[in-house]
């Protein structure tokens, strides 16, 4: 065997050298290609989102893909975030040796990740969606490792292991649901959304209940919900900022779409089963996030912990059926995390530290990044007039409306702690006196533009949503049981 | 079918007692073979292309390729023969035993008719819970990989209890995910090796 390999080696060297030369030739254009694909994907998703009436739902590709309000809205969100990430890479790659090394690999896996994510959102089959979510996780592993440090390697291991187990539990949940449907007389359960919705009209029995609980636990892992949340801060902190945004602003939303699909398919009876679990996990996650925010002095970790908090709010909103608030909050959340993580990457590159005590006077030192960081923090904390404020308000009024006063009190207490702890760490960074020579880092328009678009979207969601966009939000919310 | 399920249960429990990595890999292969035998007992030949893919997944991938691939990596790393998958103390053994009891009670509760149906659920639940226990108590990459693969096999065993089949592209996707996961596990085992065992590495992981 070894002889055969030795004989084949010279033959294999020629194409390998050709491939290496090809990669070297492609390298300067890789990120430009990445940006072009991102722009094309965003344009296509924009066309899909508003080219059809909001209530239209069409299946394509033999019924495996569905174009409905949920898929169209989230396609648009993730592809807008994708444009932000691609532009960030495009502007950073020239002066960041760490990014240049293996950039074509990062672009290749980034495109594979986005392909899997787009198909997962479009998927009309729950197991196919699970497969695509797994594929996006597999594509994200080398992305997290980019740069090759030991810390990133270990973070990617944690991410992969937690994801594998979480998605495994979700698959087990789907198998339990299928078994439950068969037990209640459905001849053969398929996982196509329409078929499942028809079959799920029967009252839930034990297998379906177990299945739904496992699905929430499984997909909850991808959303960073307790108890399997430990991977999230470690990965968001260790990964390159662009990759963190792909995980926090893109993959998070795909996992959320998977949960939306389950709620849409199983309706009020399914939500009644999942509600206590969603509320309990959401509250526990928020509490853990608040405690971690109090303890940390690292601003990237702080944003990661705040992302946990957002997952908790969304889980509680889903549990109580505050559909419109959840959709508003989830979309806002994607843009907030994109703004904050991308800006934090810039700040870290400028100051070479992640310690909040070492960064001061951002508004004077880095006016653009400082402004985005300040506004992003306000949106993160749920201040008006951003969409996150309105989303949180709807969730809170839902808690009052459903007479969950204990949960409401805990929710408000945790939010207050989060607000105080975040402000204590972040506000001196923004408004303090600069600790070093004021140096206005150059900011190409291309870096600022996507963040500006995200910021305008956040404001629009809080102040005025154009009727077409609002109708899309309403359609998604209606599927989640919102009134 | 009872003897097949008992064989699967033995393949789940024995590696925890023997504490050798070779035994653990053989047990993973045995679990794959047992599941293939369960599929064959349901009917031969499979009625659909998707059924053939499932059979190949169990017979070739889980029974042979998974253990063989991991074996090659461990051999190349000159891994020590002994490899504990549970901490060697009374608490761990009691916990493992308690999880088995819980799994069998669960099987009886959800399948009151008893028989093979209840045993099937009990064995799959026991395999799942013991896989989670391995994952929760081990820090070595190889042990965690074995824990994750045990969970994969437990889920596959549970799925065999249902009558549903997946469309061919989806079944191919599920098998493809397992192949890619295996390759990723292998890549981590090669790159991390025993790194996660050392306290120094763990301490380094706390900083960036």
- Helices A252-295/A126-145 angle, 10° precision: 50
Degrees (nearest 5) of the Cα angle B133, B136, B140?
Answer: 110
The predicted-structure confidence for B47-101, as pLDDT tens digits, reads as follows 789 999 999 999 999 999 999 999 999 999 988 888 888 888 899 999 999 999 9
Give the global pTM: 0.91
Strand partners, A66: A59
Q: Are A360 and A427 in contact (CB under 8 A)?
A: no
Contacts of A415 (CB under 8 A, 6+ apart): A286, A382, A392
Where in chain A are the domains? 140-479
State the sign of the Cα–Cα–Cα–Cα dihedral A354, A355, A356, A361: negative
Q: What is the pLDDT of residue A100?
A: 80
Q: Per-domain residue ranges for chain B?
A: 2-196
Q: Do A134 and B110 touch (CB under 8 A)?
A: no
B59: number of Cβ within 10 Å: 17
Question: Quick one: what percent of chain A has pLDDT higher than 70?
Answer: 92
Chain A hits for B208, CB-CB cut-off 8 Å, are 151, 237-238, 354
Q: Could B205 and A138 be called an inter-chain contact, meaning their C-beta atoms sit closer than 8 Å? A: no
**Of A461, A242, A135, A471, whose CA–CA distance to A330 is shortest?**
A461
Assess contact for A269 and A204: CB atoms under 8 A.
yes
Mean pLDDT in residue range A159-174: 96
- Is the CB of A127 inside 8 Å of chain B's CB atoms? yes
Q: Is A125 on the interface with B (CB under 8 A)?
A: yes
CB-CB under 8 Å, A132 with B173: yes
Is some CB atom of chain A closer than 8 A to the CB atom of B173?
A: yes
Cα–Cα distance between A452 and A443 in angstroms, integer? 13
**Which of A1-10, A343-352, A462-471 is predicted least confidently?**
A1-10
Give B 92-121 residues with CB within 8 A of chain A: 110
* ipTM (interface pTM): 0.91
Checking if the pLDDT of A92 tops 90, the result is no
For B38-77, give the DSSP string: HHHHH-SS-SSHHHHHHHHIIIIIIIIIHHHHHHHHHHHT
Partner residue opposite A175 with nearest CB, options B162, B173, B196 = B162
**CA pair distance A85, A102, nearest whole angstrom:** 17
Which residue among B135, B141, B159 places its CB closest to the CB of A165? B135
% of chain A with per-residue pLDDT over 90: 65
Q: Which of B59, B63, B12 is nearest to B39 (CA)?
A: B59
A26 confidence band (pLDDT: 50, 70, 90): low
């Amino acid at each position: 065997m070894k002889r055969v390999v030795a004989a084949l080696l010279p033959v294999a060297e020629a194409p390998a050298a050709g491939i290496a030369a090809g990669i070297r030739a492609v390298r300067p254009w890789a990120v430009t290609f990445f940006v072009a694909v991102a722009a094309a994907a965003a344009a296509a998703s924009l066309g899909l989102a508003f080219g059809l009436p909001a209530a239209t739902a069409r299946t394509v590709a033999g019924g495996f893909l569905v174009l409905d309000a949920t898929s169209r809205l989230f396609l648009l969100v993730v592809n807008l975030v994708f444009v932000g990430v691609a532009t960030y890479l495009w502007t950073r790659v020239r002066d960041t040796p760490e990014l240049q090394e293996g950039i074509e690999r990062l672009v290749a896996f980034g495109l594979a990740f986005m392909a899997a994510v787009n198909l997962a959102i479009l998927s009309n089959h729950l197991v196919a969606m699970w497969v695509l979510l797994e594929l996006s996780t597999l594509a994200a592993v080398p992305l997290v490792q980019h740069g090759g440090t030991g810390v990133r390697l270990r973070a990617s291991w944690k991410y992969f292991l937690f994801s594998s187990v979480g998605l495994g539990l979700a698959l087990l949940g789907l198998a339990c649901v299928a078994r439950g449907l068969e037990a209640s007389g459905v001849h053969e359960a398929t996982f196509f959304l329409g078929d499942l919705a028809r079959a799920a009209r029967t009252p839930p029995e034990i297998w379906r209940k177990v299945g739904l609980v496992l699905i929430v636990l499984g997909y909850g892992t991808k959303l960073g919900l307790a108890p399997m949340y430990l991977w999230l801060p470690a990965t968001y902190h260790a990964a390159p900022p662009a990759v963190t945004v792909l995980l926090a602003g893109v993959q998070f939303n795909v996992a959320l779409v998977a949960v939306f699909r389950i709620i849409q398919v199983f309706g009020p009876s399914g939500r009644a089963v999942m509600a206590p679990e969603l509320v309990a996990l959401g509250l526990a996650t928020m509490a853990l996030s608040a405690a971690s925010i109090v303890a940390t002095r690292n601003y990237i970790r702080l944003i990661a912990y705040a992302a946990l908090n957002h997952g908790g709010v969304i889980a509680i909103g889903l549990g109580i059926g505050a559909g419109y608030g959840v959709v508003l909050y989830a979309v806002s959340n994607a843009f907030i995390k994109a703004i904050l993580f991308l800006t934090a990457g810039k700040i870290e590159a400028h100051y070479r530290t992640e310690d909040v005590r070492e960064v001061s006077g951002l508004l004077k030192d880095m006016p653009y990044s400082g402004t985005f960081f300040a506004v992003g923090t306000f949106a993160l904390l749920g201040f008006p007039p951003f969409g996150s404020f309105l989303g949180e308000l709807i969730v809170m009024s839902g808690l009052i409306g459903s007479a969950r006063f204990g949960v409401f009190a805990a929710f408000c207490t945790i939010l207050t702690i989060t607000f105080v702890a975040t402000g204590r760490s972040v506000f001196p960074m923004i408004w303090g006196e600069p600790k070093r020579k004021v140096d206005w880092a150059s900011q190409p328009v291309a870096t600022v533009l996507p963040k500006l678009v995200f910021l305008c979207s956040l404001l629009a969601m809080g102040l005025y949503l154009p009727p077409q966009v609002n109708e899309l939000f309403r359609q998604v919310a209606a599927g989640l049981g919102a009134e | 079918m009872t003897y097949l399920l008992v064989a699967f249960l033995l393949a789940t429990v024995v590696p925890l007692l023997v504490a050798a990595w070779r035994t653990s890999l053989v047990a993973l292969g045995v679990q794959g073979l047992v599941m293939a035998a369960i599929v064959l007992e349901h009917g031969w030949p499979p009625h659909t292309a998707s059924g053939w893919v499932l059979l190949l997944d169990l017979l070739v991938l889980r029974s042979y390729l998974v253990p063989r691939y991991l074996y090659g990596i461990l051999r190349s790393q000159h891994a020590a023969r002994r490899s504990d998958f549970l901490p060697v103390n009374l608490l761990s053994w009691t916990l493992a035993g308690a999880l088995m009891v819980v799994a069998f009670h669960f099987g009886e509760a959800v399948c009151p008719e008893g028989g093979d149906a209840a045993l099937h659920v009990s064995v799959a639940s026991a395999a799942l819970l013991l896989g989670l226990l391995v994952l929760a108590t081990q820090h070595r990459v190889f042990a965690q990989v074995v824990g994750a693969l045990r969970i994969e096999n437990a889920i596959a065993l549970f799925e065999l209890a249902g009558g549903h089949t997946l469309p061919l592209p989806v079944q191919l996707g599920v098998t493809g995910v397992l192949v890619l996961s295996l390759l990723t596990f292998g890549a981590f085992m090669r790159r991390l090796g025993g790194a996660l065992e050392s306290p120094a590495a763990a301490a380094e992981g706390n900083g960036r």
